Amino acid sequence: MLISWLAGVCFGLGLAVSGMTDPLKVQNFLDVSGAWDPSLALVMGGAVVVTFLGYRMAWRRAAPWLADRFHVPAVMPIDPPLVLGAVLFGVGWGLAGYCPGPALATLLTGNHEVWWFVPAMLAGGLLQRWQARRSA
Protein backbone atom coordinates (compact mmCIF):
# COMPACT_ATOMS: atom_id res chain seq x y z
CA MET A 1 0.00 0.00 0.00
CA LEU A 2 2.83 2.39 0.79
CA ILE A 3 4.41 1.90 -2.63
CA SER A 4 1.03 2.47 -4.31
CA TRP A 5 0.55 5.64 -2.29
CA LEU A 6 4.03 6.90 -3.16
CA ALA A 7 3.47 6.16 -6.84
CA GLY A 8 0.19 8.08 -6.73
CA VAL A 9 1.82 11.05 -5.01
CA CYS A 10 4.63 11.10 -7.58
CA PHE A 11 2.10 10.86 -10.42
CA GLY A 12 -0.04 13.67 -9.01
CA LEU A 13 2.98 15.91 -8.42
CA GLY A 14 4.19 15.24 -11.94
CA LEU A 15 0.79 16.20 -13.34
CA ALA A 16 0.74 19.40 -11.29
CA VAL A 17 4.33 20.44 -12.09
CA SER A 18 3.89 19.74 -15.81
CA GLY A 19 0.72 21.79 -16.07
CA MET A 20 -1.51 18.85 -17.00
CA THR A 21 -3.96 19.86 -14.26
CA ASP A 22 -4.59 23.22 -15.95
CA PRO A 23 -7.38 22.67 -18.49
CA LEU A 24 -6.49 25.85 -20.41
CA LYS A 25 -2.91 24.66 -20.91
CA VAL A 26 -4.21 21.32 -22.19
CA GLN A 27 -6.69 22.99 -24.53
CA ASN A 28 -3.95 25.31 -25.84
CA PHE A 29 -1.79 22.25 -26.52
CA LEU A 30 -4.62 20.70 -28.54
CA ASP A 31 -5.32 23.95 -30.43
CA VAL A 32 -2.66 23.57 -33.13
CA SER A 33 -4.25 26.21 -35.37
CA GLY A 34 -4.63 28.88 -32.67
CA ALA A 35 -2.78 29.62 -29.43
CA TRP A 36 -0.79 26.40 -29.59
CA ASP A 37 1.34 25.62 -26.52
CA PRO A 38 3.79 22.81 -27.42
CA SER A 39 5.17 22.44 -23.88
CA LEU A 40 3.03 19.39 -23.08
CA ALA A 41 4.75 17.56 -25.94
CA LEU A 42 7.90 17.69 -23.79
CA VAL A 43 5.93 16.16 -20.91
CA MET A 44 4.74 13.36 -23.18
CA GLY A 45 8.24 12.85 -24.56
CA GLY A 46 9.62 12.58 -21.04
CA ALA A 47 6.93 10.06 -20.13
CA VAL A 48 7.71 7.96 -23.21
CA VAL A 49 11.44 7.92 -22.38
CA VAL A 50 10.83 6.97 -18.73
CA THR A 51 8.36 4.26 -19.75
CA PHE A 52 10.72 2.86 -22.38
CA LEU A 53 13.63 2.70 -19.93
CA GLY A 54 11.42 1.29 -17.17
CA TYR A 55 10.17 -1.53 -19.38
CA ARG A 56 13.71 -2.30 -20.56
CA MET A 57 14.82 -2.65 -16.94
CA ALA A 58 11.72 -4.58 -15.87
CA TRP A 59 11.93 -7.19 -18.64
CA ARG A 60 15.47 -8.06 -17.56
CA ARG A 61 13.99 -9.49 -14.34
CA ALA A 62 12.27 -12.86 -14.06
CA ALA A 63 9.53 -11.35 -11.89
CA PRO A 64 8.63 -7.98 -10.36
CA TRP A 65 9.87 -7.15 -6.88
CA LEU A 66 6.48 -7.39 -5.18
CA ALA A 67 4.71 -10.09 -7.21
CA ASP A 68 5.32 -13.62 -8.41
CA ARG A 69 4.97 -12.72 -12.11
CA PHE A 70 4.37 -9.85 -14.51
CA HIS A 71 0.72 -9.24 -15.35
CA VAL A 72 0.75 -8.26 -19.01
CA PRO A 73 -2.55 -7.62 -20.79
CA ALA A 74 -3.42 -9.85 -23.71
CA VAL A 75 -3.13 -8.38 -27.16
CA MET A 76 -6.55 -7.11 -28.20
CA PRO A 77 -7.59 -6.27 -31.76
CA ILE A 78 -8.54 -2.75 -32.75
CA ASP A 79 -12.32 -2.96 -32.93
CA PRO A 80 -15.17 -0.42 -33.22
CA PRO A 81 -15.74 -0.08 -29.45
CA LEU A 82 -12.05 0.71 -28.94
CA VAL A 83 -12.07 3.32 -31.71
CA LEU A 84 -15.33 4.85 -30.43
CA GLY A 85 -13.92 5.00 -26.90
CA ALA A 86 -10.74 6.69 -28.12
CA VAL A 87 -12.75 9.24 -30.10
CA LEU A 88 -15.02 9.99 -27.14
CA PHE A 89 -12.01 10.31 -24.85
CA GLY A 90 -10.28 12.70 -27.25
CA VAL A 91 -13.37 14.85 -27.77
CA GLY A 92 -14.02 15.00 -24.03
CA TRP A 93 -10.38 15.83 -23.32
CA GLY A 94 -10.42 18.60 -25.90
CA LEU A 95 -13.70 20.10 -24.69
CA ALA A 96 -13.09 19.87 -20.95
CA GLY A 97 -9.30 20.03 -20.85
CA TYR A 98 -9.22 17.13 -18.38
CA CYS A 99 -8.48 13.46 -18.58
CA PRO A 100 -9.02 11.12 -15.58
CA GLY A 101 -5.62 11.42 -13.86
CA PRO A 102 -5.35 15.21 -13.87
CA ALA A 103 -9.03 15.56 -12.98
CA LEU A 104 -8.58 13.45 -9.85
CA ALA A 105 -5.36 15.29 -9.00
CA THR A 106 -7.24 18.60 -9.26
CA LEU A 107 -10.21 17.64 -7.05
CA LEU A 108 -8.90 19.26 -3.87
CA THR A 109 -7.52 22.44 -5.45
CA GLY A 110 -10.77 24.40 -5.24
CA ASN A 111 -11.40 24.30 -8.99
CA HIS A 112 -15.17 23.93 -9.07
CA GLU A 113 -15.50 22.89 -12.70
CA VAL A 114 -13.65 19.63 -11.99
CA TRP A 115 -16.36 18.85 -9.43
CA TRP A 116 -18.74 18.56 -12.40
CA PHE A 117 -16.28 16.66 -14.57
CA VAL A 118 -15.37 13.86 -12.15
CA PRO A 119 -18.96 12.72 -11.41
CA ALA A 120 -19.71 12.84 -15.14
CA MET A 121 -16.57 10.78 -15.82
CA LEU A 122 -17.57 8.22 -13.18
CA ALA A 123 -21.13 8.08 -14.55
CA GLY A 124 -19.71 7.44 -18.03
CA GLY A 125 -17.61 4.57 -16.67
CA LEU A 126 -20.61 3.05 -14.92
CA LEU A 127 -22.72 3.45 -18.05
CA GLN A 128 -20.05 1.66 -20.09
CA ARG A 129 -19.92 -1.23 -17.59
CA TRP A 130 -23.70 -1.51 -17.61
CA GLN A 131 -23.74 -1.53 -21.42
CA ALA A 132 -20.97 -4.15 -21.60
CA ARG A 133 -22.80 -6.44 -19.17
CA ARG A 134 -26.05 -6.00 -21.06
CA SER A 135 -24.52 -6.88 -24.41
CA ALA A 136 -22.52 -9.88 -23.07
**Is the four-CA dihedral 63, 66, 69, 70 of positive or negative sign?**
negative
Residue 136 confidence (pLDDT) above 80: no
What is the pTM (predicted TM-score) of this model? 0.70
Residue 60 confidence (pLDDT) above 80: yes
User: Is 26 within 8 Å of 101 (Cβ atoms)?
Assistant: no
For residue 19, the model assigns a pLDDT of: 85
- Place 12 in a pLDDT band, splitting at 50, 70 and 90: confident
pLDDT digits (tens, 9 = 90+) for 74-94: 888 999 988 998 998 888 888
